């Protein structure tokens, strides 16, 4: 994928079905994140920022990924993420099926709390 400057530009370059899937994930994140959260391209992928990096998401050839941008969150939610392929920093899901809204909301709200706690230190 070519370098992009905006989230909309990134999404324009994503083919279906991943395009629609990522649009849904983007809307879920936007709903769960504080109004002050902003969108940006970070590490070449769409991301939300709120008191630092919040979460990111991206499309790949065989899957889509959600990036909690937390070294511990994926491990803490191990049971809830059992049906997804995960690593320390990513949750992979099918190109044609977004993560459940309740899970995205929980991930985003947890990251907001982490970033708020860090910003108070």
Domain spans, the chain: 7-113
Contacts of 38 (CB under 8 A, 6+ apart): 48, 49, 50
- pLDDT mean over 37-57: 97
**pLDDT recorded at residue 1:** 56
Indicate the pTM of the whole model: 0.94
Q: Is the pLDDT of residue 37 over 70?
A: yes
- Taking only the tens place, the pLDDT of each residue in 80-96 is 999 999 998 999 999 99
Fold for domain 7-113?
3.90.1150
Question: Residue 106 in 3-state DSSP?
Answer: helix
- Are 99 and 63 spatial neighbours (Cβ–Cβ below 8 Å)? no
Q: What is the DSSP letter of 68?
A: -
């Amino acid at each position: 994928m070519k370098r992009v400057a905006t989230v909309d530009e990134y999404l324009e370059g994503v083919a279906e079905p991943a395009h629609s899937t990522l649009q849904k994930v983007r809307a879920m994140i936007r709903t769960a994140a504080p109004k002050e959260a902003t969108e940006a391209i970070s590490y070449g992928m769409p991301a939300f920022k709120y008191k630092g990096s919040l979460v990111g998401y991206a499309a790949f050839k065989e899957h889509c990924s959600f990036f909690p941008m937390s070294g511990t969150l994926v491990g803490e939610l191990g049971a809830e993420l059992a049906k997804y392929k995960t690593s320390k920093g990513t949750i992979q899901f099918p190109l044609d099926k977004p993560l459940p809204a309740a899970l995205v909301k929980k991930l985003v709200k947890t990251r907001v709390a982490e970033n708020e706690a860090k910003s108070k230190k």
